[in-house]
Amino acid sequence: GDSVTQMEGPVTLSEEAFLTINCTYTATGYPSLFWYVQYPGEGLQLLLKATKADDKGSNKGFEATYRKETTSFHLEKGSVQVSDSAVYFCALGPQAGTALIFGKGTTLSVSS
């Protein structure tokens, strides 16, 4: 079945460091791909999305490109801030349009 695999955390970085969180997926058809972020004590919020191959989603300095050839949707940010500390979830939206399938989440901790 469809699935999402994220890199294990936690990821610990210093402020202004470069961030990459890997995400790969298995799916039939042409799913949409998402990154959600969860700040402490809050629900998940959509960070960015891409709906077809080669699309790049971007928001708040974060970017991810939908790579069909490598079935990947890696999250990147050039310079992280302390306020980026959160849990990041990669998710897949099956083409049939049912529930999103989430990865296990990656905890990011940024120190000043």
Partner 1 sequence: DAGVIQSPRHEVTEMGQEVTLRCKPISGHDYLFWYRQTMMRGLELLIYFNNNVPIDDSGMPEDRFSAKMPNASFSTLKIQPSEPRDSAVYFCASRPINNEQFFGPGTRLTVL
Give the residues lining the site for partner 1 (CB under 8 A): 32, 34, 36, 42-46, 49, 89, 93, 97-100, 102, 104-105
Q: Taking Cα atoms as reference points, which of 72, 54, 65 lies closest to residue 6?
A: 72
Q: Pairing between strand 106-111 and 11-14?
A: parallel
**Quick check: helix, strand or coil at residue 95?**
coil
HSE of 104, CA atoms in CB hemisphere, 13 A: 6
Closest approach of Cβ 75 to partner 1, in Å?
A: 17
Choice between 97 and 112, CB closer to partner 1: 97
Q: How far apart are CA 84 and CA 4, in angstroms?
A: 22
CB closer to partner 1 out of 2 and 17: 2
Residue closer to partner 1 (CB basis): 32 or 85: 32
Which amino acid does the sequence have at 48? L
Instruction: Tell me how far, at minimum, the Cβ of 103 lies from partner 1, in Å.
Output: 8
What count of residues does the chain have? 112
- Output the smallest distance, CB 44 to partner 1, in A: 4
> With respect to partner 1, which residue has the nearer C-beta, 17 or 94?
94
In whole angstroms, the minimum distance from the beta carbon of 21 to partner 1 comes to: 15
